Amino acid sequence: MKLIGFLLGMLIWPCVTLAQDSGAEGASTSSPIGYASVQQAFDAVSADPDASRSEYEGWSLFTQKADGKYILWSFTPEDHPVHPSAVRREVMRKEGEVFISMAVLCHSSRLDCDQLVEQFQQINARIKQKLEADPG
């Protein structure tokens, strides 16, 4: 079961919304992750007593459960090229199939943000197969 939690923490699906910032933290109120800034998202998720937190290679990972789905948050470490950036994923199962929607708020160049998403998409293909193979 711990393996599934870890895999979910790293899970991504190609259904991605990517927003870039022009440098003004909090300037956009229509952020794809539901918060105007990465810091606001981090503070809100950190304050949720029902959110479980873990660290993986410097990334801050949070898991929340709501309405039969898991909400997974990934926040970049300070030394990451696209820091500060946040990835919000909703994961749910339906009839044995795994569905994931993802939104990214990335504070870097389009090229760097695209590379981040591409890296996660490569991981996703393997992880999605493992999750669908495990009925639990």
Instruction: Check residue 124 and give its pLDDT.
Output: 66
Query: What pLDDT is recorded for position 107?
Result: 86
The pLDDT of residue 92 is: 82
Domain boundaries, the chain: 2-133
pLDDT of residue 129: 76
pLDDT in tens, 9-45: 444 333 334 444 433 343 345 789 999 999 999 999 9
Question: Which residue ranges in the chain fall short of pLDDT 70?
Answer: 1-29, 123-127, 135-136
Instruction: Confirm if 11 and 131 have CB atoms less than 8 A apart.
Output: yes
